[in-house]
Amino acid sequence: MNPSPSDGATFAAVDLGASSGRVITARIGAGALDLTEVRRFPNRPVRVNGTLHWDVLGLYGNVLDGLRAAAPAGLVSVGIDSWAVDYGLLGEDGALLGNPVHYRDARTDGIMDRVRDELGDDVLYGVSGLQFLPFNTVFQLLAEGPGLERARTLLLIPDLLAYWLTGEIGAERTNASTTGLLDVRAGTWSRPLLERLDLPGALLPALREPGDLIGRPRPDVAEETGVSPGLAVTAVASHDTASAVAAVPATTDRFGYISCGTWSLVGVELPEPVLGTESLKANFTNEGGVDGTVRYLRNVMGLWLLQESMRAWGAPDLPALLAEAAEVPGLRALIDPDDPEFLPPGDMPARIAAHCVRRGFPEPRTRAEIVRCVLDSLALAHRRTLREAVRLSGREVEVVHLVGGGSRNELLCRLTADACGLPVVAGPVEATALGNVLVQARAHGVLDGLAEMRDLVARTQPLRRYEPAGTAAWDEAAARLG
């Protein structure tokens, strides 16, 4: 028998990142929040006939294995989050028409610019409030070509996996807000925009809110995994950044956040979107958060630069390399992390070195020099983006919360504090999984509101505070980078 909410309860988070996934259980109740990772697995894209795909069936198999490992804990609920924008298309019979295409695939090359020229930035931004990125769902759909005619339903990745678990179709709002097809003011699909783009509106399913019950496991799923047939599959903030921001251990609304992993999502939390001309020119995004909040942010390329460099080097010892990088003189070689040349997979160290030379900086020659270049440049990008978010939104920021895997990187946290001139509170590492389970706990009566959720994180999770050491050198470096 599952425990009553007053005694606490156990929830499972399926948390899928761009390079790996995990299933984590959380026992929540009586001021306690204990996480246990029960399964971790790689998320490896596959290139077939020149197209980069996600191995979504492999991911689903690992999700089932994770639920099987979690079942003995007596789960009350499970929720799924993942990266944004990518999707699967279902045919008339409800079957998947093909493996979802990876957002780093080149099929959208040129499409965003064409659509912006045809419709105008003000039209697109006025509807969705989204940062212009070539892989936004709207541009991927326009790259589908004639094959789109066979599709009857579009499901973003967490909604697709929830459909396979339950048989229920829907679209969770925070992730839907990343597609470019959601009206950011109304919180509904924009039928006028779909018509102007000649996209079939019937593809888009009804919207769900974080905390809504999606359904119960299909009989075959319950039998295969051993979970209770009464297990709740609960909608969470299924865009991983929305879950991460829900778990920011903030004690005031005057905070900025950096959800730092493969990408750095840098911004502030607001009650309303910012859609003015300056916001459009600055290419800031307005994405949905828990309780109708707006995540006003920009995407920065993030630790992808370091991850790809490590892969090119054959995965050397990272702590040792970071220790070496800390001894390299700072702010000598700098890059713009958001340059499109860094988006595709490939030889990242060579691209970084060439980029530095083209922009008049010394060429980083050793691995430690490249790592220091990456981290200095990311800290500068964090500074630039956060200051723009503050200026455009009017939101005062007194502290920066850096959450996710990047919070383990002490050098990056210290450099970010120095660059921003603000204290950086690093942690929790598992912010996304925490936000996932906390939304479930609230939906099932264990917790109350967003403030209580964040307070529980602040009281139970390990955090580290970094004080800034001065910004003069960073001011000069920012001027040199332009």
Catalytic residue status for 105: no
Residue 307, token pair as written in the block: 């991850």
Of 349, 368, 354, 342, the residue nearest 264 (C-alpha): 342
- Catalytic residue, chosen from 240, 253, 448, 455, is 240
Distance CA 229, CA 217 (A): 6
Distance CA 164, CA 219 (A): 11
* Degrees, nearest 5: CA angle 80-81-83: 145
Distance CA 157, CA 439 (A): 19
Distance CA 41, CA 358 (A): 39
In the block, tokens 């936004």 appear at: 136
| Catalytic positions | 240
